[in-house]
Amino acid sequence: MAVYTLGSINLDHVYRVPHLPQPGETLAATDYTLGLGGKGANQSVAAARAGARVHHIGAVGPGAAWALEALQAYGVDTGHVLTGAVPTGHAIINVDPQAENAIVLFAGANQTISEAQVIKALRDAGPGDSLMMQNETSAQAEAACIASEKGMRVAYSAAPFSVEALRAVLPYATILLMNEGEAAALKSALGVFPDCDLVITKGARGAEWLSAGAEPRRVPAFPVTPVDTTGAGDCFSGTLIAALDAGQTPDQALRRAAAAAAIQVMRPGAAAAMPLAEEVDRLLA
């Protein structure tokens, strides 16, 4: 079994600020780091460090070789990541002392992924494999359709939230992954939750798994003091799908994902903060 991620690869410019900027305000940052990010890359790293065999499908621009080397160092296969002329996507991330963040994204090369690239990447995939996606790339609906026809699990993180993008993917989705705000926007747009499984993260109040005709599954959050919440949802999602890929039950996968996210938020950064499987084992023990 394997996990394929159709996902963004971003260069994360992270600024520590005394508070999140207000309109028209200029702030002096107290610290700056440059690192690997993007919801797709984050989820790939989280899943790989959780023990899954991960293949990333994506695109970068010139000068991004270090980002691919970083993905490979985390155990992610980058054979289906293409390098083109469009600049690599990047994010401007402000983080305040309470670990809250505000992010501005530039999609760049993430929007150059083609259906042909996805077809080639998923050529050997089949039942038992998973496709993770987020709303930060092109070719989402095409990839979801291809994966569904192959009998793969299709896990879609509906973020940044767009009802149009969600409607295009929904007919093929096995699991929707979203936070409370995104879930509320989904229900407002559709009137009801869809029939596929829905996993909703609630920050310090844990997470729940909703399945049609079944009682909700819930997991509490582990009580920790966060340092940086950037990438916490991606950590949860990547770990959850890796656990399901390994044959764990939804309840086991939820608890494992909650533990991984608790560790991740106690560290600065996004991809670099994703925990190893043995670290999660120790917390669960």
The catalytic residues are: 234
**Judging by beta carbons within 10 Å of its beta carbon (0-12, 13-18, 19+), is residue 73 exposed, middle or buried?**
exposed
Q: Which residue has the tokens 């999140």?
A: 20
Instruction: Round to the nearest angstrom and report the end-to-end CA distance of the chain.
Output: 26
Tally of helices (H runs) and strands (E runs) in the chain: 9, 13
Backbone angles phi, psi at 219, to 5 degrees: -135, 135
Look up tokens 């533990």; give the residue.
Answer: 259
Q: Is 34 exposed, middle or buried (0-12, 13-18, 19+ CB in 10 A)?
A: exposed
Containing 182, the helix (H) or strand (E) segment is: helix 180-190
Q: Calculate the alpha carbon distances from 197 to 133, 176, 217, 269 in Å.
A: 15, 6, 11, 30
Q: Which stretch of DSSP H or E encloses residue 45?
A: helix 39-49
Report how far residue 17's alpha carbon sits from residue 15's, in angstroms, rounded to the nearest whole number: 6
Summarize the chain as % helix, strand, coil (round to 5).
35, 25, 35
Tell me if 118 sits within 8 A of 139, measured CB to CB: yes
